Chain A
């Protein structure tokens, strides 16, 4: 990121700063608890704001925003020729059963066909068992049975991303794996604050646990706004933002959301004002990273919105688009 471009009008920057600061205030009975907002315009910080107790140096968990980072990391392995989208027979434990038909693209497009319940409110769900009651997150997810033919049904599942993390571990090799995210992605992007947490076996929990400052999350978004530079393979950003064939309402690409959920203000007039080329990394409790290449915008919002409806991201984006 660079200092703000000289040709970006001061009054627009001031308007964005006002929006960023206003996002910290509570509004209505649902607690928003916004903790950090960073808005990039044309690669430069146009506005940022932090709640008391938080700063530009506070690493915050992206929760499921981490999935988009794991998608990018898989992209680096595709670029290096270690994996390809058409690869099947991805895990030795799937040898000899129908799961060997699952392709890398199926996993990136959340269309593995594996049975997996993604309900945080249910302590018996697979996502809770995997994250909070299992040693080996990827192994837990990989052991789930098929419930549909791979590639034929879209189903968002955190287990899918941890399977990708396990596949990456085997592709990279044990010796190189611990430092791999830093070498492949964080260092080239200058994401110095990034801390990628692992399960007890040392596999990065690609579904849920990457901590980084809001500025570093913005740096990750900027990589996509700028087409992947020389970090991602040619065409990877377009692939990521192309609707998964089985995703309802074209709402999901490849480890990026293409539409906001109703809880975040999707399917409203505010959401309709968001340009069609926008895509989002979204996480538990209102973590949001939006990339809008056509407007040169990257918007990061981190918070603790336990009631997800507390944060209307579509409305915030509409205001940002009007101000920028």
Chain B
């Protein structure tokens, strides 16, 4: 392999990473957020008795790929966290009167209704 080939391979890999990375990040972030929010609302607002890993809301038909996103339910804190093998974790938490909301970053949630 010549130096030219190595440069070409490196360039291609970097270009692919630059193109693919934001798309992959968005795919995983949206998938984890959707699953966390859907499960938190189903469990803590609707009060459904469902298995997080097999609930049709997040695992059937068009949602088949969401099975790859692991869900952890904290029933005491009434929150659900989903991630792709620890990557891009997203949490949705329940608050009295306001249902479930995604809690990205450190932004505080709204105050409860008076």
Contacts and interface: CB of A to CB of B under 8 A. Distances in A.
Given A128-B30, A133-B30, A178 B113 contact: yes
Interface string B33-47: 110010001000111
Interface string B89-106: 000000001111111110
Given A53-B48, A123-B30, A132-B102, A306 B62 contact: yes
Contacts of B27: 123
B56 A304 contact: yes
Given A123-B27, A196-B99, A200-B107, A306 B60 contact: yes
B112 interface: yes
B103 A200 contact: yes
Nearest to B24: A123
B98 A31 contact: no
B63 interface: yes
B46 A132 contact: no
B45 A59 contact: yes
Nearest to B99: A197
A197 B101 contact: yes
Contacts of B101: 197-200
A200 B26 contact: no
B26 A61 contact: no
Chain A interface residue number, banded: 20 to 34
Contact of B57 (A178, A179, A209, A304): A304
B113 A195 contact: no
A124 B56 CA distance: 23
A306 B45 CA distance: 20
Nearest to B48: A53
Contacts of B61: 31, 306-307
B110 A182 contact: no
Given A58-B46, A178-B114, A209 B63 contact: no
Contact of A211 (B34, B45, B56, B111): B45
Interface string A184-228: 000000000001111111100000010100000000000000000
A12 interface: no
A198 B46 CA distance: 16
* Chain A contact surface mostly: loop
A197 B30 contact: no
B31 interface: yes
Contacts of B107: 135, 200-201
Nearest to A125: B30
Contact of A306 (B47, B56, B97, B103): B56
List 7 A-B pairs, minimum CB-CB distance, nearest first: A202-B110, A132-B33, A197-B99, A306-B61, A178-B113, A123-B30, A195-B99
A39 interface: no
A60 B46 contact: yes
A121 interface: yes
B49 interface: yes
B112 to A, nearest CB: 7
A315 to B, nearest CB: 21
B113 A123 contact: no
A174 to B, nearest CB: 10
B15 interface: no
B90 to A, nearest CB: 8
B105 A211 contact: no
A124 B26 contact: yes
A209 B41 contact: yes
A211 B89 CA distance: 25
16 contacts: A31-B56, A33-B56, A59-B46, A61-B41, A124-B26, A133-B26, A178-B97, A178-B110, A179-B114, A195-B99, A196-B98, A198-B109, A202-B111, A211-B45, A211-B99, A304-B57
A53 B37 CA distance: 20
A129 interface: yes
B12 to A, nearest CB: 23
A86 B44 CA distance: 40
